[in-house]
């Protein structure tokens, strides 16, 4: 018995020593307590140099994690168990997270750089008064295409994609709202349509697009289009800017039937342990020079009005990515459709993907 007690005592002592050493090591590297900030963001959605700059300025170590869909991000935050101090949901997800009690109200007195955001991006319907969110990037969903691979043909419409000459030429982003939305818009229905008859029509029309669809892919869509593996892609505008930067033969268009106008936003989830540090990080990213550096690196459009002064004119004057609001009147922001209707969208998208096999 004494041997057994001695054995467990030794194990306990060894564990204590290891934990102490680990804590000391983490402390030395800035990983302890309030010196840590966990940021949960989309992939390829921040200039890594800005994270280093923030760490140097504040002494706070950033742990950076990524997600590939609003739904995955919301599920992980709702489950709890992991500390996330800052997250970057899209507008409809902000609305949903508010409803589900997953967000902490922002303290605007700690965000003085909020004054640099263009007022047209503030106080929007998904978060009146920006009580829980501040804008990060904005953009559209559209079509990037290679006129040279299409024999000079121009794309202006969603319905152009159903051309039988485009067999095996189209890549689609792997997103239910984007693809079902494309089907709805092609029929001149709203992106937020909840009429199941209209949604079935959209799905059946998407089924007829199948011969032209080469693949439904994630982030690799940028590489595939830039390397001319396909002539056409349905993508977000920031991805289009990045693709065109890699291959200037391509062009980007927002289809004339209409499309999605989206906003990604910084929020503080309920899981946050370093709320002070989260405000510091958000305010840091709202600094005009930092926002401009981030926009130039990521390729998406910044809502920071002052940041435009630090960006090249060829970027800010490109109407494909910085359109006048007067010219985007046919664009819609995604609404929070509720759990059941979102599940229905996902079910239709899955059926479409299965139809291809």
**DSSP states of 50-106:** HHHHHHHHH-PEEEEEEES-HHHHHHHHHH-SS--SEE--BHHHHHHHHHTT-BPPP
Please indicate if the annotation marks 92 as binding a ligand: yes
Instruction: Give yes or no for residue 338 having a pLDDT over 60.
Output: yes
The answer to whether position 332 is within a domain reads yes
Query: How many domains are there within the chain?
Result: 2
- Quote the pLDDT of residue 1: 44
The answer to whether position 70 is within a domain reads yes
206/210 Cα distance (integer angstroms):
7
Task: Kindly state whether residues 114 and 225 are assigned to the same domain.
Answer: no
Average pLDDT of every residue of the chain: 89
The answer to whether position 110 is within a domain reads yes
Q: Which residue has the higher pLDDT, 18 or 87?
A: 87
The answer to whether position 29 is within a domain reads no
Task: Kindly state whether residues 199 and 310 are assigned to the same domain.
Answer: no
The answer to whether position 4 is within a domain reads no
pLDDT per position as a tens digit, 121-142: 999 889 999 999 999 999 999 9
Sequence-separated (6 or more) residues with CB below 8 Å from residue 194: 337, 341
pLDDT per position as a tens digit, 294-306: 999 998 999 999 9
Instruction: Give yes or no for residue 226 having a pLDDT over 80.
Output: yes
Across 61-79, average pLDDT:
92
Task: Kindly state whether residues 169 and 231 are assigned to the same domain.
Answer: yes
Query: Angle between the 70-79 and 91-99 helix axes, to the nearest 10 degrees?
Result: 20
Task: Kindly state whether residues 216 and 330 are assigned to the same domain.
Answer: yes
Instruction: Give yes or no for residue 275 having a pLDDT over 80.
Output: yes
**Confidence grade of residue 10 (pLDDT, cut at 50, 70, 90):** low
- Enter the tokens of residue 120: 């047209």
The answer to whether position 175 is within a domain reads yes
Residue 71: domain span: 36-138+263-317
Task: Kindly state whether residues 344 and 230 are assigned to the same domain.
Answer: yes
Task: Kindly state whether residues 110 and 167 are assigned to the same domain.
Answer: no
Instruction: Give yes or no for residue 23 having a pLDDT over 60.
Output: no
**Confidence grade of residue 33 (pLDDT, cut at 50, 70, 90):** low
**Confidence grade of residue 88 (pLDDT, cut at 50, 70, 90):** very high
Task: Kindly state whether residues 350 and 242 are assigned to the same domain.
Answer: yes
Task: Kindly state whether residues 52 and 198 are assigned to the same domain.
Answer: no
Instruction: Give yes or no for residue 67 having a pLDDT over 60.
Output: yes
Sequence-separated (6 or more) residues with CB below 8 Å from residue 117: 134, 135, 286, 303, 304, 305
Task: Kindly state whether residues 48 and 181 are assigned to the same domain.
Answer: no
Task: Kindly state whether residues 254 and 133 are assigned to the same domain.
Answer: no
Q: What is the CATH number of the domain that holds 170?
A: 3.40.190.10
Task: Kindly state whether residues 106 and 168 are assigned to the same domain.
Answer: no
- Quote the pLDDT of residue 17: 45
The answer to whether position 299 is within a domain reads yes
The answer to whether position 205 is within a domain reads yes
Task: Kindly state whether residues 181 and 201 are assigned to the same domain.
Answer: yes
Sequence-separated (6 or more) residues with CB below 8 Å from residue 265: 88, 89, 90, 91, 94, 127, 133, 134, 135, 136
Across 60-85, average pLDDT:
92
Instruction: Give yes or no for residue 31 having a pLDDT over 80.
Output: no
């Amino acid at each position: 018995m004494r041997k057994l007690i001695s054995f467990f005592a030794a194990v306990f002592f060894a564990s204590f020593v290891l934990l102490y050493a680990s804590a000391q090591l983490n402390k030395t590297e800035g990983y302890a307590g309030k010196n840590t900030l966990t940021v949960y963001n989309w992939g390829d959605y921040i200039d890594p140099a800005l994270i280093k700059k923030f760490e140097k300025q504040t002494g706070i170590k950033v742990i950076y994690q990524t997600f590939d869909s609003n739904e995955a991000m919301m599920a992980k935050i709702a489950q709890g168990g992991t500390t996330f101090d800052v997250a970057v949901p899209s507008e409809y997800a902000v609305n949903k997270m508010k409803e589900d009690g997953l967000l902490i109200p922002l303290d605007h007195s700690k965000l003085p750089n909020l004054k640099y955001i263009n007022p047209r991006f503030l106080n929007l319907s998904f978060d009146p008064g920006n009580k829980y969110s501040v804008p990060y990037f904005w953009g559209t969903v559209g079509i990037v295409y290679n006129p040279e691979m299409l024999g000079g043909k121009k794309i202006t419409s969603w319905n152009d994609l159903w051309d039988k000459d485009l067999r095996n030429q189209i890549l689609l982003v792997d997103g239910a709202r984007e693809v079902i939305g494309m089907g709805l818009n092609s029929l001149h229905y709203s992106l937020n349509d909840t009429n199941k008859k209209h949604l079935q029509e959209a799905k059946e029309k998407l089924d007829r697009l199948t011969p032209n669809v080469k693949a439904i892919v994630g982030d690799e869509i940028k590489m595939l289009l830039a390397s001319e593996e396909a002539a056409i892609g349905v993508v977000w505008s920031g991805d289009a800017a990045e693709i065109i930067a890699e291959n200037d033969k391509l062009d980007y268009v927002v289809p004339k039937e209409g499309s999605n106008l989206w906003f990604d936003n910084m929020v503080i989830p309920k899981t946050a342990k370093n709320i002070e540090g989260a405000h510091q990080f958000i305010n840091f990213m709202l600094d005009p020079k930092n926002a401009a550096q981030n926009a130039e690196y990521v390729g998406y459009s910044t809502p920071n009005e002052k940041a435009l002064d630090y960006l090249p004119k060829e970027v800010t004057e490109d109407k494909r990515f910085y359109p006048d609001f007067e010219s985007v009147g046919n664009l819609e922001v995604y609404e929070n459709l509720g759990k059941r209707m979102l599940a229905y969208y996902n079910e239709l998208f899955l059926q479409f993907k299965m139809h291809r096999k």
